[in-house]
Amino acid sequence: MILMRVALKFAYNGKNFYGYARQPKLRTIEDEIINSLVKYELIKDSKLSCFRSSSRTDKGVSALGNVIAFNTENFKKEVLNKLNKENEDILFYAFKIVDDDFYPRYACLRQYRYYLDITNKDFKKVVKGLSFFTGEHDLSNFARVEKDKNPVRVIDNIIVSKLERFLVIDFFAQTFLWNQIRRIISAVEKLGCEKISQDEII
């Protein structure tokens, strides 16, 4: 058989997982996916297949368009149905045979959506607080910055819409830091509840 590199696009409901990345003795999206790929003989293990993911999400966070890539000798379109039957919280909906050096971490743009309950919060102050984060900023105080990681990031755009009692907040950027969105939301939520002032964010 001919060795090929395959990219799969998928969505998942993160509510029942302890995040995306594999963790010992915890249920994660990555672990479920790798186990399913091994079960259906698409890969033998993650290292030999050069298994890679485009993005990692925190506990409880969902995704609509994550991507994985791996090397395999045994891929057919029909296998997507088997993978989807394996776990109702993960849905594979697209695939492509890609170049041997395809690395899904090199995304041009990522979108992160957050639903914020604005009950008893000042809507205008929340939106104003979000506007402070567009463009390039040192986010050392608004992320969990890993060792040797650059804390400076660019948020290309933040789009806000209202859905009943929720604000639907879409962040667009090429890369995000660990816990970046969660901490930004925490800050603007406190601003909307008048627990902090604008000066404490800027």
- Cβ-based neighbours of 106, under 8 Å, separated by 6 or more: none
- Cβ-based neighbours of 67, under 8 Å, separated by 6 or more: 7, 8, 9, 10, 53, 54, 55, 104, 107
The residue written with tokens 């395999």 in the block is 72
How are the residues of the chain apportioned to helix, strand and coil, as percentages rounded to the nearest 5? 25, 30, 45
10 Å CB burial of residue 78 (0-12, 13-18, 19+) is exposed
Q: Which of 58, 89, 99, 170 is labelled catalytic? A: 58
Locate 157 and state its tokens. 């755009």
C-alpha span between 163 and 173 (Å, rounded): 23
Catalytic status, residue 45: no
Would you give the end-to-end CA distance of the chain in angstroms? 58
Q: Which residues form the catalytic set?
A: 58
